[in-house]
């Protein structure tokens, strides 16, 4: 699929990231780690969450000053321990990026062949996880908004959230739910100064994509670093002092409804 550019890649607002407190879930691979690196480079104060302890520790060593938190956002019991560690180590939070995603059955399967447990796991990771983590962090985010720092939640979406691709049922349905949650959150909490964005990075060369489409030629896929830079542009635009493009101001309008088939 052609990854479409929806976000102006010219940033020019990197100073907005200096000292910005950002948490990224799924922060040790794919788009997540690209976001963490880019944010770290721009002097943001970054916490990242992932399940693998060794990889978390390795990245933490690599990027001095980042806060690695070991946890699984799909597990209800992990949410408050994760939240506590993020807030304790960053001293507050301005931006949450719910990036951790579960693909569903591997290899991809028709819905009729998808086990209930596989759908459940996709919903736990892609819908309930972001919902719970957002709720737990909302007090801190609202405080940041009241203090004029802004408060933003970015949920990583996909064109599979709007287009009915056969064999992407668990993933697509869960991302559709996340996308709609994002829009409702945004409608409900805008008056508190808390913004929600649903962003579709496009088809990237990531471990998740390799699981889904092992035969895809990486050279034809978007590089996660490029997607990360686009995300940061959108984030900068949505924070106070940023210029929020009208397409984003609609509340998650960035999800591209025109993009082509996700299956290569």
Q: Does 62 bind other proteins (CB under 8 A)?
A: no
Per the listing, tokens 């302890």 go with: 53
Q: Which residues are catalytic?
A: 171
Q: Does 142 bind other proteins (CB under 8 A)?
A: yes
What phi, psi does 74 have (nearest 5°)? -80, -10
Cβ at position 85, least distance to other proteins in Å: 5
Q: Does 88 bind other proteins (CB under 8 A)?
A: yes
- Scanning 123-131, 132-140, 165-173, 235-243 for contacts with other proteins by CB under 8 A, the matching segment is 132-140
Q: Which of 151, 160, 232 is nearest to 194 (CA)?
A: 151
Q: How many residues bind other proteins (CB under 8 A)?
A: 31
Name which position in 81, 107, 166, 241 contacts other proteins (CB under 8 A). Answer: 81
Cβ at position 170, least distance to other proteins in Å: 27
Give CA–CA dist 87/3, Å, rounded.
35
Cβ at position 124, least distance to other proteins in Å: 17
Query: Between vectors from CA 31 to CA 139 and to CA 173, what angle results, nearest 5°?
Result: 75
Q: For residue 215, what are its two tokens?
A: 């035969």
188-227 residues near other proteins, rule: CB under 8 A: 188-189, 191-192
Q: Does 70 bind other proteins (CB under 8 A)?
A: yes
Q: Tell me which H or E stretch contains 210.
A: helix 207-212
Q: For residue 219, what are its two tokens?
A: 């050279």
Name which position in 85, 167, 182, 198 contacts other proteins (CB under 8 A). Answer: 85
- How big is the chain, counted in residues? 264
Name which position in 50, 59, 67, 127 contacts other proteins (CB under 8 A). Answer: 67
Cβ at position 148, least distance to other proteins in Å: 6
- Scanning 87-95, 108-116, 120-128, 224-232 for contacts with other proteins by CB under 8 A, the matching segment is 87-95
Half-sphere exposure of 167 (CA within 13 A, CB side): 10
**Does 224 sit behind a cis peptide bond, omega within 30 degrees of 0 on the bond before it?**
no
Q: Which of 6, 46, 26 is nearest to 234 (CA)?
A: 6
Residues of this chain that interact with other proteins (CB under 8 A) are 60, 67-70, 79-85, 87-92, 136, 138-140, 142-143, 146-148, 188-189, 191-192
């Amino acid at each position: 699929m052609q990854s479409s550019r929806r976000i102006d890649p010219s940033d020019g607002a990197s100073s907005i990231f200096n000292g910005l407190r950002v948490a990224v879930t799924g922060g040790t691979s794919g788009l997540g780690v690209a976001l963490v690196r880019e944010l770290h480079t721009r002097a943001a104060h970054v916490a990242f969450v992932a399940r693998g302890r060794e990889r978390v520790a390795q990245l933490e060593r690599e990027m001095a000053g980042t806060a690695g938190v070991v946890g699984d956002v799909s597990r209800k019991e992990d949410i408050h321990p994760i939240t506590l560690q993020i807030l304790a180590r960053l001293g507050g939070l301005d931006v949450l990026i719910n990036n951790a995603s579960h693909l569903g059955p591997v290899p991809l399967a028709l819905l009729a062949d998808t086990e209930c447990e596989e759908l459940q796991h996709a919903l736990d990771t892609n819908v309930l996880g972001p919902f719970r983590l957002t709720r737990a962090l909302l007090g801190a985010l609202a405080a940041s908004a009241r203090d004029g720092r802004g408060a933003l939640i970015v949920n990583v979406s996909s064109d599979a959230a709007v287009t009915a691709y056969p064999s992407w049922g668990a993933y697509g349905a869960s991302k559709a739910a996340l996308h709609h949650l994002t829009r409702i959150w945004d409608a409900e909490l805008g008056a508190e100064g808390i913004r929600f964005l649903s962003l579709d990075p496009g088809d990237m060369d990531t471990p998740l994509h390799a699981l889904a489409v092992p035969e895809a030629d990486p050279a034809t896929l978007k590089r996660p670093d490029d997607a990360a830079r686009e995300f940061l542009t959108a984030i900068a635009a949505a924070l106070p002092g940023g210029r929020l493009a009208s397409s984003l101001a609609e509340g998650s309008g960035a999800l591209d409804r025109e993009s082509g088939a996700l299956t290569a």
